[in-house]
Amino acid sequence: MNLEAYKGVFVFAQQVDNVISNIAFELIGKGKELAKDLETEVTAVLVGADVKGLADELAEYGADKVIVVDDPELKEYRTEPYTHALASVIEEFKPEIFLIGATAIGRDLGPRVCARIHTGLTADCTKLDIGDFPINPVPGKEQKHNQLLMTRPAFGGNTIATIACPDFRPQMATVRPGVMQKAPKVEGAKAVVVEYNPGFTPDSKYVEIMEVVKAVTDTVDIMDAKILVSGGRGVGSPENFKILDELAEAIGGTVSCSRAVVDAGWKPKDLQVGQTGKTVRPNVYFAIGISGAIQHLAGMEESDIIIAINKDDTAPIFDVADYGIVGDLNKVVPLLTEKIKEATAKN
Amino acid sequence: MKIVVCIKQVPDTKGGVKFNPDGTLDRGAMLTIMNPDDKAGLEAALRLKDQYGAEVTVVTMGLPKAEEVLREAMAMGADKGVLVTDRVLGGADTWATSQTIAGALRNLEYDLIITGRQAIDGDTAQVGPQISEHLGLPVISYAQNIREINLEEKYIVVERQYDDRYHVLKAQLPCLLTALAELNEPRYMTPGGIFDAYAKEITVWGRKDLKDVEDSNLGLKGSPTQIAKASDKVRKGAGEKVTLDPAGSADYIVAKLAEKHVI
Amino acid sequence: MDFTLSKEHEMARKLFHDFAEKEVKPLAQEVDETEHFPAGTVAKMQKLGFMGIPVPKEYGGQGCDPLTYAMCVEELSKVCGTTGVIVSAHTSLCCDPIQTYGTEEQKQKYLVPLAKGEKLGAFGLTEPGAGTDAQGQQTKAVLDGDEWVLNGSKIFITNGKEADIYVIIAVTGVKEDARGRKKKEISAFIVEKGTPGFSFGTKEKKMGIRGSATYELIFTDCRIPKENLLGQLGKGFGIAMHTLDGGRIGIAAQALGLAEGALERTIDYVKERKQFGRAIGQFQNTQFQLADMATKVKAAQLLVYRAAMAKKTQKVYSVEAAMAKLYAAEVAMEVTTKAVQLHGGYGYTREYDVERMMRDAKITEIYEGTSEVQRMVISGSLLK
């Protein structure tokens, strides 16, 4: 493999029902930064049926070039035709980096493509940088420059690892939605559009889609929620939980509570976090008006980020909170909700 | 019907994590379990066995200790166990791992191969689809329900989960499925099953038993991806505590949320 | 002498432990509060073969050894004393005597469904006037043509009313020995629930193992086929005593599990609970108590496992069983009481499990032979 022949940062522009997924824009945003470090361009690869019209949007979010693979076989995602599409694009255009969203589509497509091409794929990256490998020079070993360094959590999040793919191209990585930032949209920006169709001949690897069933949104189990807005006795009354509901809605979270709240009859038991309730590990846990008794901590101390709001500065919850706010929740929470709404509206 | 289930013995991630000097995982030193997605795949195979009659073979690649997970599978009802183990196979990334397992599977007859979607140590979800690519089989990953299997006409119908929908897919047999832990509630072993499982012979294969695989694709040396560095995530203790006016408090929180990409 | 468990036994422990954690533990508090027999859990255990662990495969059992069975009761009892005794009474007190003394027909008819988990078993020896003094039996069985007619009552029967099959001890006659002294002839019988004349009386309200169904059995001209005599006529007392030897191993395992469960909870608690600015586990008073508790629990475990192995390899194991039960029960009482103390005020509340474990532990010093009886057995063997 002549590694020098591989140039450019390519991004899989995932679309579902001919709507480009946010992850595609996030990856283009990051791809642009990487391309800048490598003094090259970022190209979006758009795969589907009747999708040419979406190329402009990709340009507006920063793609310098868009390769469009348009074919009726590509209407709904299926592993084989999409793998053939991307593998053919890679062989034809030889990118040095290929980024794919770590979605239910990307985590199927990525490995199949990298196995067909014979290259390395690093999954669920939280950071991507251009650097050297080995990071520190090792005597007797060549130190390569301009390598993609892919950082990701492993072992249930207990470890952070940085991976490189020095001897194979393209260097492939999948990235979870919400990790990278979209670049600001530039209205009217245009990209070079290249149409490419490698030809699709169904074989035994093609599956048949018999039915597409769209999900009906359901109430979230607190154990599945990524953000929990949890209230304790300090909230004061069932009616006052309204301010927590509003915060939850603004931030895309779910309301949960402590045992005291369940015992008081304000909330049902399936919302209870704690020793005699549920154990949760959300990305963000708001502990509002919760003192932090051992039984409660047992149910939530593994949360990634704990934000506590309590007027008692000796409350034990502050021993585990990443960010502790000593204050009156009745004043802080509504203001917080407003400010979050402002911040998210800006994006 | 012959079903092959690929299972992995993984460190119970609730315990501590230990590394070798070269950055790869020191698997010998940790508490272990059968990977949950794989267990669901095994249960799916056992249910097909209950319903249609089938021979279920479980295959695992790992240290000799990984034999335990084969015994557990057999105590649940699998018929045969195969351990693929060899020093030269160690330190493999997903490419080398999938090459190894594909090389082992080429020795077996199968109508269906089931793997778990992802392992709780690597969390990559790559090996299953890569094995199917090496063997030239159709793959249905994220299987949330097996609706039908027809051996005469050689097809299987499976529900495949996406983020906002699911597809009902029909694939030709033989094919490979990757199972989600939500697919089912795996059965327990039985006490008698445990003793029976240990009374059986387990097939052990090394590098020489792998079919159509080159040395350059095996182990640490055959892995396109390499570890640049690895470290323990710093565990939580008390963080920052502030006393501000309500507006200041709200601003503080919003800033932290933005910093952490929550909003 | 190798003290390590085989791989099979380790895996079996893992099975029982996982089942207990997942299926039994979440219900333990509710079972205790409501005093409801955990029928759902029993059904699950029946499907998995937990109700016939030491019964040979040819009779529908799992074909494992007594140690595997003891480990099952131990692991279940770590999270729920009630669930542990249900398995123990069914297996040791009903399956075992039928397996040891039953005819082939009786084994096919009764042992197979018991071991397969289709039916639940129980054992009736104790009467209002006959506890430790088991010879004080008054329940009578009189042969009338092709049937035995039973009259009398049994109390404190575990799995009472829930069980389908009962091994019942009754007086079948009076004999005079060479010196002219009158001696009761006692025999064992198999009685099915639903037999006319067999009814249930009071359900006992108990201090502990509150989900265990403890009932009075009442026999009023209850007629059973003469084929339901278990073992030889007149050998019933010996059958009962031998059965209790096996039962004691089960109860010893239950006591062991309760002690281990209480110790585990206490260790977790003292690491978390802070007073005077540090975890109470850092005070030497706590540490020394835990050390003593752990040592006694380990000693109890070794005695229980030794008794289980003795049952596997020896014809007679009464002393091993008595020592295991005596020691494990007293350790369970001591350890669970200390556990409550080390939990402080919280330990006294029903939100924490240790007070239930203490209430559950008490009965292990009493049933299937009080600690006093165990001492009689042990000293009897020393001084013979």
CA–CA dist C87, B250 (Å, integer): 57
**Average pLDDT value for residue range A98-122:** 95
Going by C-alpha positions, the residue among A45, A40, A60 that lies closest to residue A14 is: A45
CA–CA dist A213, A79 (Å, integer): 18
Q: Which residue has the higher pLDDT, A67 or B118?
A: A67
CA–CA dist A275, A273 (Å, integer): 7
Going by C-alpha positions, the residue among C142, C122, C147, C146 that lies closest to residue C224 is: C147
The rounded mean pLDDT for chain A is 91
- The CA distance from A270 to the nearest CA of chain B, in Å, is 20
- The CA distance from A41 to the nearest CA of chain B, in Å, is 24
pLDDT < 50 positions in chain C: none
H helical segments located in C51-111: 66-79, 81-88, 96-101, 104-106
Collect all residues of chain B within an 8 Å Cβ-Cβ radius of residue C72. Answer: 191
The verdict on a CB contact (< 8 Å) between B129 and A133 is no
The rounded mean pLDDT for chain B is 91
The confidence score (pLDDT) of residue A158 equals 64
The confidence score (pLDDT) of residue B103 equals 97
CA distances from A105 to A21, A77, A174, B164 (A): 11, 8, 11, 11
Question: Which DSSP category does A95 fall into?
Answer: -
The verdict on a CB contact (< 8 Å) between B129 and A208 is no
A309 token code pair: 């709001």
Interface test with A, best of C21, C27, C273, C351 (most A CBs within 10 A): C351
The model's pTM is: 0.84
A114 touches chain B (CB under 8 A): yes
The verdict on a CB contact (< 8 Å) between C272 and A276 is no
The verdict on a CB contact (< 8 Å) between A155 and B120 is yes
CA–CA dist C219, C196 (Å, integer): 9
A 268-307 residues inside an 8 A Cβ radius of B: 283-284, 301, 305-307
B241: pLDDT strictly greater than 70: yes
Tens-digit pLDDT profile for residues B180-224: 877 888 999 999 999 999 999 999 999 999 999 999 999 999 999
Q: Which phi and psi (to 5°) does residue C191 adopt?
A: -125, 135
The verdict on a CB contact (< 8 Å) between C273 and A294 is yes
Terminal C-alpha separation, chain A:
42
Which chains neighbour A (Cβ–Cβ under 8 Å, 3 or more pairs)? B, C
pLDDT tier for residue A279 given thresholds of 50, 70 and 90: confident
B195 touches chain C (CB under 8 A): yes
CA–CA dist B154, C292 (Å, integer): 65
Collect all residues of chain C within an 8 Å Cβ-Cβ radius of residue B191. Answer: 12, 15, 48-50, 53, 62, 64, 68, 72
pLDDT tier for residue A2 given thresholds of 50, 70 and 90: confident
Residues 6+ apart with CB under 8 A from C110: C98, C102, C119, C165, C190
Interface test with C, best of B9, B188, B202 (most C CBs within 10 A): B188
Collect all residues of chain B within an 8 Å Cβ-Cβ radius of residue A133. Answer: 226, 228
The verdict on a CB contact (< 8 Å) between B262 and A284 is yes
B238 touches chain C (CB under 8 A): no
Collect all residues of chain B within an 8 Å Cβ-Cβ radius of residue C19. Answer: 188
Among B71, B188, B191, beta carbon nearest to C64: B191
- The CA distance from B166 to the nearest CA of chain A, in Å, is 5
pLDDT tier for residue B15 given thresholds of 50, 70 and 90: very low
Q: Please tell me which residue of chain A has the smallest CA distance to B123.
A: A154
Strand B165-172, strand B155-161: pairing: antiparallel
Collect all residues of chain A within an 8 Å Cβ-Cβ radius of residue C27. Answer: none
The verdict on a CB contact (< 8 Å) between B225 and A164 is yes
Going by C-alpha positions, the residue among A108, A121, A87, A103 that lies closest to residue A16 is: A103
The verdict on a CB contact (< 8 Å) between B263 and A319 is no
Look-up: residue for tokens 């093609």? A206
The verdict on a CB contact (< 8 Å) between A294 and C351 is no
Work out how many CB contacts closer than 8 A connect A with B.
Answer: 264
- Enter the ipTM: 0.91
Bond prior to A72 in cis (omega within 30° of 0): no
- Single out the catalytic residue among C74, C216, C334, C368: C368
Interface test with B, best of C62, C67, C75 (most B CBs within 10 A): C62
C218 token code pair: 């009442």
Tens-digit pLDDT profile for residues C101-149: 999 999 999 999 999 999 999 999 999 999 999 999 999 999 999 999 9
CA distances from A59 to A18, A25, A47, A64, C127 (A): 16, 10, 15, 6, 89
User: Are the beta carbons of C162 and C39 closer than 8 angstroms?
Assistant: yes
Residue C104 designated active-site: no
Interface test with A, best of C21, C272, C349 (most A CBs within 10 A): C272
For the four alpha carbons of A296, A297, A303 and A309, in that order, the dihedral sign comes to positive
Among B68, B194, B198, beta carbon nearest to C15: B194
The helix (H) or strand (E) run that includes residue A12 is: strand A9-13
CA–CA dist C2, C144 (Å, integer): 55
CA–CA dist B34, C11 (Å, integer): 13
CA–CA dist C340, C293 (Å, integer): 13
Cross-sheet strand order for the sheet of B203-205: A208-214, B165-172, B155-161, B139-150, B175-179, B112-116, B2-6, B55-61, B80-84, B203-205
The confidence score (pLDDT) of residue A259 equals 86
Which chains neighbour C (Cβ–Cβ under 8 Å, 3 or more pairs)? A, B
Interface residues from chain C to A (CB-CB < 8 Å): 272-273, 351
The verdict on a CB contact (< 8 Å) between A118 and B224 is yes
Interface test with A, best of B19, B25, B127, B162 (most A CBs within 10 A): B162
**CB-CB neighbours of C24 under 10 Å:** 24
Tens-digit pLDDT profile for residues B58-75: 999 999 999 999 999 999
- The CA distance from A295 to the nearest CA of chain C, in Å, is 10
Collect all residues of chain C within an 8 Å Cβ-Cβ radius of residue A294. Answer: 272-273
CA–CA dist A27, A30 (Å, integer): 5
- The CA distance from B101 to the nearest CA of chain C, in Å, is 26
A57 token code pair: 């949007």
Least confident of A155-169, B105-119, C325-339: A155-169
B24: pLDDT strictly greater than 70: no
Degrees to nearest 5, angle at CA C146 with C144 and C152: 50
The verdict on a CB contact (< 8 Å) between A276 and C351 is yes
pLDDT tier for residue B9 given thresholds of 50, 70 and 90: very high
The verdict on a CB contact (< 8 Å) between B68 and C48 is no
Tens-digit pLDDT profile for residues A208-258: 999 999 876 556 678 778 999 999 999 999 999 999 999 999 999 999 999
